[in-house]
Structure 1
Amino acid sequence: MSTTERPRILVVGGGYVGLYAARRILKKMRYGEATVTVVDPRSYMTYQPFLPEAAAGSISPRHVVVPLRRVLPKAEVLTGRVTTIDQDRKVATVAPLVGDAYELPFDYLVVALGAISRTFPIPGLAEQGIGMKGIEEAIGLRNHVLEQLDKADSTTDEDVRRKALTFVFVGGGFAGAETIGEVEDLARDAAKYYNNVKREDMRFILVDAADKILPEVGPKLGAYGKEHLESRGVEIYLSTSMDSCVDGHVVLKNGLEVDSSTIVWTAGVKPNPALARYGLPLGPRGHVDTATTLQVQGTDYVWAAGDNAQVPDLAARKAGVENAWCPPNAQHALRQAKLLGDNVISGMRGFPQKDYSHANKGAVAGLGVHKGVAMIVMGKMKIKLRGRLAWYMHRGYHGMAMPTWNRKIRVFADWTLQMFLKREVVSLGAIESPREEFYEAAKPAPAPVSTPAPEKAKTS
């Protein structure tokens, strides 16, 4: 970390909002006007809408992430966590990956921590559940699913086989519906290469506490998505929840009990709990309370946006919806980040701030290869698409929303190759513990156990 006499703009979080806001600030900033410092526990940004496709092997995991130092060469990128912020002194405490924590002064602050998985105190969930918030989890889920097929193909124990081939997904929003659709596609393709595993042997279960899935695309397309998944053999249980999953024994509130080695948790998100230590005003659900300018209420040097912010939805409020807030999705995050960057520059130069207003353009969701739903909003008209055309809309929108042309080209190249080459179904489960085999080879051999020689029989 370099020291500087220039004002410091501290960006807490290197996710979608943090990355785009920092890029915008660097683009609009005059030479030497300020120092931009980005702090994040990871040295890369993850494009989360592509996690289901990464889990299914449709996109290389490396192409779903964007290295911060490469994209922000003129910024300081610190790998660590901002644990606390002293607003009076304008000092942040940074805990690096290694070494002692240190204080970092700042003049302007951007809070872009994003969200984490929203969980509940369900017995067994922490030990058995798999989330879908990071690329590591997507890779782990892919390897885990293929490893379950390996187990089922090689065992003669029917109970072990049944447990391995039962896949439970909790949460029927975008993340849950897209992930189960992609993983079911993966398992269906992979089963062709196993002698003792067929798609009919597998059981896919989707659970949601709401009375519908995919609420973001509306009731009609949500109902179509449900019918489509059910036509592929997915069991969907609505208006119910999971009571426990100790040792993989899943108990649902509706009375269903199954044994499963794969429990994927996608039941919503919540703001990062670290926000409570930043001395900022928070809303009832833990989001940073912001004005329409994305400035944190009561401050003129702190901005927040994205999943960790409670941003008034001006477009919805103008349409008559009271107390409307911007939903946590990619289209709002991208636009908020750009305006946030502009407002930081304006605030630094003493110019007035601009309000954030964006009318919903719709939503798209992929449910596997050539399958999807899309709702496109054009003024007062809503265009509803489903099937292959909606799937193309999903890929086109998110492909272009992927940061940097480097990653855009790589993602589209992955999709193009998939048109001509079969899906890879290799399980790399050993990647979770890559040193295990070397350790077994290098560890000291146990000392030989010496046994006393037998005594000779005495002769008289």
Structure 2
Amino acid sequence: MERTRILIVGGGFAGVECARGLERGLRPEEAEISLVTPASYELYLPLLPQVAAGVLTPQSVAPPLRRLVHRTSIVPGMVIGIDPHDRMCVVRLISGETVNQPYDRLILTPGSVTRSFDIPGLNEQARGMKTLAEAAYVRDHVIAQLDLAAASTNEQERAERLQFVVVGGGYAGTETVACLQRLTNSAAKRYPRLDPDLIKWHLLDIAPKLMPELGEKLGRRAQQILRERGTDVSLGVSVAKATERRITLTDNRVLPSRTLIWTAGVAASPLISTLDAETIKGRLAVNADFTVPGHPGVYALGDAAAVPDLTKVGGAVCPPTAQHAGRQGKHMARNLIAALRGQPMAPYRHKDLGLVVDLGGTNAVARPLGYEFSGFPAQVITRGYHLMALPTFTAKVRTVANWNLNALMGDDFLRTGFLSRRPATLQDMEATDAYLTQERARELTP
């Protein structure tokens, strides 16, 4: 019997959980499983702000794929084009070479990228918080601003280097500003020439409330914690224009700043737009069993897919969260195994278990199963949730050790010099310009 060639695109929560489920459920002679991803690890994205702040090491949140999958062939690259007619994907390897990867069943889990807007200067000045490289760059950049401000005798330059702007009042932005502000406040004690009162963090969001999914009470509590630490939280406002030394806001304020961290939501991977298929707000429209209408043998899930949320009414789709992506990956594996054996596939249905937001130190807000917590109890729940969600025992041990070490010894404020001579644009870091049209993909496949 000829083995079915299963190609999984993307090594995030959905893709890796799907590969693991297929390995457990299919015999080696039934299927050949391949996973295309440019990274050699599965990134646990919710803890990325703590990597940027130096609380956790990168290894804690990036368990290697070869600890997670065993029979799956890992293709180190990214799918930049799809030819569904000939069932072929165009893959650009990390070496820069382009190869064709055939498939019988295609599972699309390319995830998401940082959502950007047509704002003058945004693409050149903004830095994201979506990848391990971006977190490393942001950490280096923030510490570099402290170093340069301490060495400068120009008051205007100091003011620019010591003001930091984060855009996005969701979980990523809120946790980023909370973690990095703790970093700079702690670091200021090591700089005798810096006045800690000059260090200023700003959190902006165009929405009227901070993290509205948490509910009114917890959103207000998170905002209160940030403001008590000195963060300027501005709601109903965003960036109108950005230059290297100035950030102009939509309310006409001008902030002297050389740091703009952009976390204002996510958009589906640009790969989705290369496929001739219906989309919903940029995400691939799929059925509740992850099948893509009009494309036999193609499935999509995770952040890049608009999976119907059957626990709600009114045509709702599942939010692009790690919780849904991981569970969808496991469900996709069960569905594909059933399909290969001639059995019916089941629709995905999962009730959201709640939300947790780590604000650093002993502060957090959490809403598990509808119950609301803040302060230390919420921090216990939050960190307990992350430990359960981390996919390997090694990652769990490293994370606990890092938390304890940071609590006891603090941080060393180390700069690695990563990309110190080159601006890390969103386009470069997240490779949003790498994709081919479907016509071009057909030209490159035999």
Asked if 1:285 corresponds to 2:273, the answer is no
Q: Aligned-pair distance for 1:245?
A: 0.8
**How far does the alpha carbon of each residue in 1:197-250 deviate from its partner, in whole angstroms, 9 at most, with x for none?**
243111111111100111221121111111111111111111111011112310
Distance 1:131 1:170 in 2: 10
Q: Could you tell me whether the CA contact under 8 Å between 1:316 and 1:359 is conserved in 2? A: no
Task: State whether residues 168 and 263 of structure 2, in contact with CA within 8 Å, keep that contact through their aligned partners in structure 1.
Answer: yes
User: What secondary structure, in the 3-state scheme, does the structure 2 residue paired with 1:172 have?
Assistant: coil
> 1:421-436 maps to which residues of 2 (within 5 A)?
421-428=409-416, 430-432=417-419
Task: Confirm or deny that 1:218 pairs with 2:235.
Answer: no
Give, in whole Å, the separation in 2 of the partners of 1:39 and 1:172. Answer: 32
1:42 aligned partner: 39
Judged with a 3 Å threshold, the aligned counterparts in structure 2 of structure 1 residues 209 and 323 are, in CA distance, closer, same or farther, namely: same
TM-score (norm: length of structure 2): 0.91
1:392 aligns with 380
Match of 2:330 among 332, 338, 349: 338
SS of corresponding position for 2:280: coil
Quote how far apart the aligned CAs of 1:160 are.
Answer: 0.8
- Tell me which moved more, 196-205 or 306-315: 196-205
Q: 1:171: Cα distance to partner? A: 0.7
**Alignment pair present for 1:401 and 2:399:** no
**Aligned equivalent of 1:102:** 99
- The equivalent of 2:437 in structure 1 is none
Deviation at 1:5, TM superposition (A): 5.1
User: Is 1:375 the equivalent of 2:367?
Assistant: yes
Equivalent of 1:416 in 404, 411, 434: 404
Give the equivalent residue in structure 2 for 1:446.
Answer: none
| 2:229 partner letter | R
Contact in 2 for aligned 1:371/1:387 (Cα 8 Å): yes
1:343-397 CA-to-partner distances (Å, cap 9, x unmatched) read 11111111111111111211110112111111122xxxx3111111111211111
Question: Is the CA contact (8 Å cut-off) linking 1:300 and 1:347 kept in structure 2?
Answer: no
Q: Pick from 168, 171, 176: which aligns with 1:174?
A: 171
Q: Is the 8 A contact 2:136 2:418 kept in 1?
A: no
- Aligned twin of 1:158: 155
- The answer for the alignment partner of 2:260 in structure 1 is 263
How large is the Cα RMSD of the aligned pairs?
1.7
Aligned partners of 1:248 and 1:259 also within 8 Å: yes
For residues 368 and 419 of structure 1, the distance between their equivalents in structure 2, rounded to whole angstroms, comes to: 10
Q: TM-score, normalised by structure 1?
A: 0.88
1:125 to 102, 122, 125: 122
**How far is 1:266 from its partner?**
0.4
5+ residue gaps, structure 2 = 423-446
Pairs aligned (count): 422
Q: 2:12 aligns with which of 8, 12, 15?
A: 15
**Is this contact kept in 2: 1:301–1:347, CA < 8 A?**
no
Q: Which residue of 2 aligns with 1:81?
A: 78
Q: 1: distance between equivalents of 2:327 and 2:413?
A: 37
RCO higher in 1 or 2 (8 Å CA, sep ≥ 6)? 2
1:186 corresponds to: 183
> What runs of 5+ residues in structure 1 fail to find an aligned partner?
436-460
User: What secondary structure does 1:316 align onto?
Assistant: coil
1:183 deviation in Å?
A: 0.4
| Partner of residue 143, structure 2 | 146
Query: Matched residues in 2 for 1:254 and 1:151: separation?
Result: 30
Match of 1:309 in 2: 305
